[in-house]
Chain A
Amino acid sequence: MAYTLLLFVVLYYTLFRPSVRKRSSHYLKRRFPGRNPLFMLWDSFLLNLGIGRTLVDRAILGILGPDSLKLSLEGKSELTELLNEGRGLVMVTAHVGCWQLAMSSLSALDTQVNLLVHRDEGDLDRHFFEHGGNKPPYRIVDPAGYLGGTLEMLQVLKNGEILCIMGDRNMGGDSGTVSVDFLGGPVKVPFSPYKLASATGAPVAVIFPFRDKSGGYALHVAKIIRVPENLGRSAHAYIPFAREFIGALEQFVSENPYQFFNFYDMWTNEH
Chain B
Amino acid sequence: MNTKEKLKQILIADLNLEELAPEDINDNAPLFGEGLGLDSLDAVELVVIIQKHFGIEIKDMEEGRDAFKSVEALAAYIDRRLAAA
Chain A residues in contact with chain B, CB under 8 A? 146-152, 154-155, 158, 175-176, 192, 195-196, 199, 230, 232-234
Contacts and interface: CB of A to CB of B under 8 A. Distances in A.
A199 B61 contact: no
Tell me the interface secondary structure of chain B in the complex: helix
30 contacts: A146-B65, A147-B32, A147-B40, A147-B68, A148-B40, A148-B41, A150-B43, A151-B43, A151-B61, A151-B65, A151-B68, A154-B43, A154-B44, A154-B47, A154-B61, A155-B60, A155-B61, A158-B59, A176-B41, A192-B41, A195-B41, A195-B44, A199-B47, A230-B48, A230-B52, A232-B14, A232-B45, A233-B15, A233-B45, A234-B16
Contact of B44 (A146, A196, A234): A196
Interface residues of B, number: 20
Nearest to B60: A155
A150 B40 CA distance: 6
A151 B68 CA distance: 10
Contact of A147 (B43, B52, B60): B43
A233 B65 CA distance: 20
B40 A176 contact: yes
Contacts of B14: 232-233
B44 A150 contact: yes
Given A147-B40, A152-B61, 6 more contacts: A147-B32, A154-B61, A158-B59, A195-B44, A199-B47, A233-B45
